[in-house]
Amino acid sequence: MQLMHSLRDRITNGQYVADQALPSEAELSEIYGVSRTVVREALAELVQERLIYKIKGKGAFVAPDRAEVRFVGSVTGSAADLLASGRRVMTTVLDQGGGPASPEEAMALNLGQDEPVVRLRRLRVVDGVPWLLVRTALPEQYVPGLDRAKLENRSLYETLRRRYGIEAAGADRWLEAVIPTAEEANLLEVEPGTPLLGIESVAWDKDGNRFEWYYALHRSDQSRFYVGIR
C-alpha cells in the first residue's frame, strides 16, 4: 500500500507524466527496498485504477487522460472522430481480400448464403499506441474492387463516400467486455487476459441497404466512449 500510494502521488503531482516509463520492477524493488512480488501487486493496483498501463516486454507507463470517443452514438467512423480531436492516427491493413459470406456475415448484412463479401482486418494506432483491432465485411456488390484498394492510413468511410457514393445513414452497435486471444493481445500490446471492449456494428445507407459489418476490439485503458441521450 505504501509503494502504491507513493507511485500514485508521483503520478498525480506530475513527477511522472503521461506515457512516461516507470522504473522497472527490479529498479522499484531496489529503490523502495521491497520484493518484486510487492512491486507487481502495487503496479497491478495502479493498472486497475487506470493510472498506468503495461506494454508486454516494455514495462509500465503512466496512462494519459483517456480520450472521449463519440462515434459509438454517431454514424461517423472512429478515424474521423479521432482526427477531429487532434489525435495522430495511423492504420495498418493486416488482411484484405474477398470470399463467400460466413453465416454471421450473411445474417448481419442480409445476404444470401455464400454471397461474396470483401473482408478487411486493420490495426489502428493513435499517438503511437495501438488503439483498436477491427474485422470488417462489406457486400462485394456495393464495393467492387475494394479488395484491391489502397487503404493504408486511410479512412474506410471516406473511401466508401468518394469511391462508391456510400454514406452511413444509421447503425446498430453492441458493446461487450471480452478477453483477447494471444495474437490479439500481442497486436494491441497488452498483457494476456487484459479485458478489452468489443464493439459489433451494422451500418446501413439512406436506402436501408446494410453495407458494413464490423467487430472491433478497443483497449479500454486508452479511451472511454460517450453516448448522449436527449
> Are 73 and 49 in a shared domain?
no
* pLDDT tens digits, 185-197: 999 999 888 899 9
> Are 54 and 73 in a shared domain?
no
> Are 111 and 179 in a shared domain?
yes
pLDDT of residue 73: 46
pLDDT of residue 83: 58
Residue 230 has pLDDT above 90, yes or no: no
> Are 28 and 76 in a shared domain?
no
Give the model's confidence band at 78: pLDDT under 50 very low, under 70 low, under 90 confident, else very high.
Answer: low
Residue 64 has pLDDT above 90, yes or no: no
> Are 16 and 77 in a shared domain?
no
> Are 50 and 137 in a shared domain?
no
Q: Is the pTM of this model over 0.85?
A: no
Q: What CATH number has the domain bearing residue 153?
A: 3.40.1410.10
Averaged pLDDT of the chain: 87
Taking every pair of C-alpha atoms in the chain, what is the biggest distance, in angstroms? 67
* pLDDT tens digits, 82-96: 655 566 889 999 999
pLDDT of residue 49: 79
Give the model's confidence band at 80: pLDDT under 50 very low, under 70 low, under 90 confident, else very high.
Answer: low
> Are 48 and 138 in a shared domain?
no
Max mean pLDDT among 35-49, 54-68, 97-111 falls in 97-111
List phi, psi (to 5°) of 163. Answer: -90, -30
Residue 107 has pLDDT above 90, yes or no: yes
Q: If you average pLDDT over residues 20-27, what whole number do you get?
A: 91
pLDDT of residue 168: 92
Distance CA 52, CA 46 (A): 6
Q: If you average pLDDT over residues 18-33, what whole number do you get?
A: 90
> Are 9 and 89 in a shared domain?
no
Residue 68 has pLDDT above 70, yes or no: no
> Are 84 and 13 in a shared domain?
no
Q: If you average pLDDT over residues 114-123, what whole number do you get?
A: 96
Residue 12: domain span? 1-62
Residue 160 CB neighbour total at 10 angstroms: 22
- Residue 57 makes CB contacts below 8 A (sequence gap 6+) with none
> Are 54 and 82 in a shared domain?
no
pLDDT of residue 215: 96
Q: What CATH number has the domain bearing residue 34?
A: 1.10.10.10
Dihedral in degrees, nearest 10, Cα atoms 28, 29, 31, 32: 110
> Are 31 and 86 in a shared domain?
no
Number of domains in the chain: 2
> Are 22 and 96 in a shared domain?
no
Read off the DSSP letter of residue 194: -
Read off the DSSP letter of residue 15: S
